[in-house]
Amino acid sequence: MLKTIQLEPPDTHHLAAAEGWVDLGNFSEAQAEIECISPLGRQNFNVLQVQWHVHNRLKEWQDCLRLGRVMIALSPRLPQSWINCGNALFYLGQYDEAFLLLFPKMREFPNDEAIPYNLACYKCQSGDLKQARALLQRALRVGDYKRIRSLALKDPDLEPLWKAGDCLQ
């Protein structure tokens, strides 16, 4: 793992501005702020995360995948690196590849509810409702049950489980 890049002003100010623009839904301004960050600063995890979210909101899945791979290379001990890369593969319709990338990380990050939750989405969309149900149950056990249940009941990626009617009992 490479050394974590620490941001200094003015990069910290540009990152804060980019985050604000993302919150406001102005992705071109967010990207403009990111481009003001030093080349080294753009390797900071938080900067990469904002970039990933900009491309995610714009449905630029190949860019999300590229950034996810960079995040894994620079920050493999952060579960969000793996989740972002897996989700990019998922958005590209590569459900099996997404699953194969993220599934081993459940052992490495056993208390991260987002990993089994995302795996449940991948399996649900690929038609394996039995495994999707088991993974969602794991996410419910690991995390805040009420919050995850509420999220799952609104998540269109889990809609096949809603129709099955027994996933969130």
Q: What is the mean pLDDT of each run of 10 residues along the chain (169 residues)?
A: 77 98 97 97 96 97 98 96 98 97 98 98 96 96 95 94 69
The confidence score (pLDDT) of residue 167 equals 57
Q: Which CATH architecture has domain 76-169?
A: Alpha Horseshoe (1.25)
Radius of gyration of the chain (CA): 17
The confidence score (pLDDT) of residue 164 equals 73
- Please list, in sequence order, all residues whose beta carbon lies within 8 angstroms of the beta carbon of residue 63, skipping any fewer than 6 positions away: 55
DSSP string, the chain: -PPPPPP-TTHHHHHHHHHHHHHHT-HHHHHHHHHTS-TTGGGSHHHHHHHHHHHHHTT-HHHHHHHHHHHHHH-TTSHHHHHHHHHHHHHTT-HHHHHHHHTTHHHHSTT-THHHHHHHHHHHHHT-HHHHHHHHHHHHHHS-HHHHHHHHHH-GGGHHHHHHS-TT-
The confidence score (pLDDT) of residue 1 equals 44
Torsion of CA 18, 143, 148, 138, to 10 degrees: 120
Residue 54, Cβ neighbours under 10 Å: how many?
23
Letter for the amino acid at 76? P
- Between CA 123 and CA 128 the distance in angstroms is 5
Given its phi and psi angles, is residue 118 left (phi above 0), alpha (psi -120 to 50 degrees) or beta? alpha
Domain limits of the chain?
10-58, 76-169
The confidence score (pLDDT) of residue 42 equals 95
